[in-house]
Structure 1
Amino acid sequence: MLQGLVYAVISAACFGSMAILVKFGYMAGMDGAVMMQMRFTVAVVLLLFYLLAKTPRLLRISLRDLGKCAFLGLVVYWLQTTCFVNALETIPASTAALVLYGHPMAVTLLASLFLRMRVDRVVILSLALVMVGCCLVFYDAFLREVNTAGLVYALGAMATFSVYLILVQILLKGLKPLTATFYVMAFTAISFTLSGDIHAWTTLDPQQALISLALGLFPGVIAVTFLFTAIERIGSAYACIFSSVEPIITLLAAAVFLGEPVVWLQIWGAALIILGIVTPNLRLRRTEAG
């Protein structure tokens, strides 16, 4: 489980950069759909060059698996990402992240219903610590007036992301993480190119190009690849719990790059999230020692 935890944390750290990069993109005059078009297209190109150079055999895929990746990329991932980006346009990043981080609870519930995951006291304690920690990290979100449309988009992102993680575990079982990452992101890139601006590549200024590259590399290739690998190793529910380090990354990045203040209440929240992530591993270590 420890290896799965490391993969999930790396994925979360990269996903945590997306809210900050999207905010920078809006400041640079970019459209939400165009940013995601750039994110996924750059990610697919980078991953294609890597696979061709290192392991071209991973590009082989059956028609059945290709259809599954197409469904996830064209429909589910596109819908989840669109909701989250639209939420960021209308409400603060911390508020959007707080709503999104209801997904560990939702995924655990779905996993118990459809994947027969055993939800014991350790899992419940871990979830409780993570959820309380997220609320403390984003305590200021409760003090702000929330745009109704933005809140709906954030709830939509949380719901679709929860379903997406369960579907990844079910539909992509047995498929190599890099293969799944490449094809899911390729179809997502197609969907955002069709819903964005096909000519956007010719109008990017240097700042927008740099933001696009960062979006493709960090919350693109690295984040998705490590997330799929974590789900393959430990399942979607535990991957969600361990990925809950993402709010801490978002908090630190917002403080460093956006100048947002960090208070002690948020530091205690971060400590609770880390404790919630560590709890299942402590149980595992005791079991192995016994």
Structure 2
Amino acid sequence: MGIKKPTTFIYGVLIGLLGIVLFSSKAVMVKLAYQYDVDAISILLLRMLFACPFYIIIVLWNRNKQAHVVLENKDYYWIVFFGMIGYYLSSYFDFVGLSYIKASLERIILFLYPTMVIIFNKVFLKNRITNVQIAAIILTYIGIVIAFGDEVAISGNDTYIGGFFILLSAITYASYLVGSGWLIPKFGVMKFTSYAMIVSCICVFVHYLIIKETSIFSYTWEVYLLGFLIAIFATVIPSFLVSKSIKMIDSSNFAIIAGAGPISTIILAGIFLGEQLTWLQLFGALVVIFGILLVSLKRVKS
């Protein structure tokens, strides 16, 4: 993989950070929805119902792009696979985990996926792990452990249950990031993201129909508003920003700068949910930020 131009890398980082912040708002809005007695699969269904039409329109609009690229059947099979694990299983595990733990803790645990991305890239794509990436990962892990350990002491046993589901979400999302890294050049950012999200929407629809316990029409207007906001501002827009960023700076570097996610979620959760940030969690957040700056500044100078 060639070295990216400094300006390209900077733009890729900025685009990725914007996508990360928008994605981070999802956890806060899901927690707000849970205040209206909605279950995980129902709010996930609303998210996909509002998001799916946008992706269908985008697929139709971009159907003739990348026409010069020869695609094989296995490429479409991989899109189905990564669509299932990336935005269906990962989202479902995430939404279930959020019913047990705070939004700020969710994002901190979810940030375990950078090491998974780098390992997957090493094993399957033979990418080299640089010393800068190793140092940044160590720093971010230190920050995560500090913040997570402090929250466990405060919140009790539910933290472990929620943490387990968020860990599953991190593993499946990391797999999606790695897969998207080599499939995006074949399909293009818009088409790949739209295909993957449509697959995810279908999976959620089927899941809901199988285990349906509550009518989707039985909630208050606040739930539908939150579902719409989650779909547009925490799903549709950031999904394309993230895919574009991965194309510009590669999935390993994106996974590391995504450490801004825990910080933005902690801030948003404090503002909208009243979640308290302890001094230890603040220190952990600062360590994560330093890790992001380390890898970003070093990469620009390369």
Q: TM-score range by the shorter chain?
A: 0.7 to 0.9
Matched to 1:100, the amino acid is L
**Separation in 1 of the partners of 2:59 and 2:147?**
38
In 2 relative to 1, CA 63–174 (structure 1 residues): closer, same or farther, beyond 3 Å? Answer: closer
In 2 relative to 1, CA 257–176 (structure 1 residues): closer, same or farther, beyond 3 Å? Answer: same
Q: TM-score, normalised by structure 1?
A: 0.87
2:185 alignment counterpart: 173
Please say if 1:232 is aligned against 2:216. no
Give, in angstroms, the shift of residue 36 of structure 1. Answer: 1.3
**Separation in 1 of the partners of 2:25 and 2:146?**
20
Q: Identify which range, 200-209 or 104-113, moves more after superposition.
A: 200-209
**Separation in 2 of the partners of 1:257 and 1:224?**
23
Give, in angstroms, the shift of residue 47 of structure 1. Answer: 4.1
Please say if 1:270 is aligned against 2:278. no
Please say if 1:15 is aligned against 2:27. no
Q: Identify which range, 186-195 or 165-174, moves more after superposition.
A: 165-174
1:249 alignment counterpart: 264
- Indicate the SS of the match to 2:90: helix
Give, in angstroms, the shift of residue 132 of structure 1. Answer: 2.2
Q: TM-score, normalised by structure 2?
A: 0.84
Deviations 1:90-126 (A, max 9, x none): 2333443333221111211221222222222211111
User: CA contact under 8 A between 1:51 and 1:59: conserved in structure 2?
Assistant: no
**Separation in 2 of the partners of 1:235 and 1:161?**
15
- Measured on the aligned residues, the alpha-carbon RMSD in Å equals 2.7
Residue of structure 2 aligned with 1:105, choices 104, 111, 115: 115
Give, in angstroms, the shift of residue 141 of structure 1. Answer: 1.8
Deviations 1:153-180 (A, max 9, x none): 2222122222221122234432211111
Matched to 1:145, the amino acid is G
Q: Identify which range, 59-68 or 234-243, moves more after superposition.
A: 59-68
In 2 relative to 1, CA 41–139 (structure 1 residues): closer, same or farther, beyond 3 Å? Answer: same
Q: Identify which range, 162-171 or 79-88, moves more after superposition.
A: 162-171
**Separation in 1 of the partners of 2:285 and 2:270?**
14
Matched to 1:186, the amino acid is I
**Separation in 1 of the partners of 2:83 and 2:59?**
19
Residue of structure 1 aligned with 2:100, choices 90, 101, 123: 90
**Separation in 2 of the partners of 1:113 and 1:51?**
32
Matched to 1:43, the amino acid is A
Give, in angstroms, the shift of residue 56 of structure 1. Answer: 6.2
Matched to 1:173, the amino acid is P
2:202 alignment counterpart: 190
Please say if 1:145 is aligned against 2:156. yes
**Separation in 1 of the partners of 2:301 and 2:36?**
51
Please say if 1:132 is aligned against 2:142. yes
Which residues of 2 match residues 212-227 of structure 1 at below 5 A? 212-227=227-242
Deviations 1:2-22 (A, max 9, x none): 122112211210111111111
Matched to 2:220, the amino acid is D
**Separation in 1 of the partners of 2:201 and 2:29?**
18
1:37 alignment counterpart: 45
Give, in angstroms, the shift of residue 149 of structure 1. Answer: 3.7
Aligned residues between the structures: 286
User: CA contact under 8 A between 1:41 and 1:186: conserved in structure 2?
Assistant: no
**Separation in 2 of the partners of 1:180 and 1:205?**
34
Residue of structure 1 aligned with 2:169, choices 131, 152, 157: 157
In 2 relative to 1, CA 264–74 (structure 1 residues): closer, same or farther, beyond 3 Å? Answer: closer
In 2 relative to 1, CA 173–139 (structure 1 residues): closer, same or farther, beyond 3 Å? Answer: same
Q: Which runs of 5+ in 1 are unaligned?
A: none
- Indicate the SS of the match to 1:174: helix
User: CA contact under 8 A between 1:68 and 1:172: conserved in structure 2?
Assistant: no
User: CA contact under 8 A between 1:11 and 1:243: conserved in structure 2?
Assistant: no
2:88 alignment counterpart: 78
- Indicate the SS of the match to 1:209: helix
Matched to 1:92, the amino acid is K
Q: Which runs of 5+ in 2 are unaligned?
A: 1-8
Identity %: 23
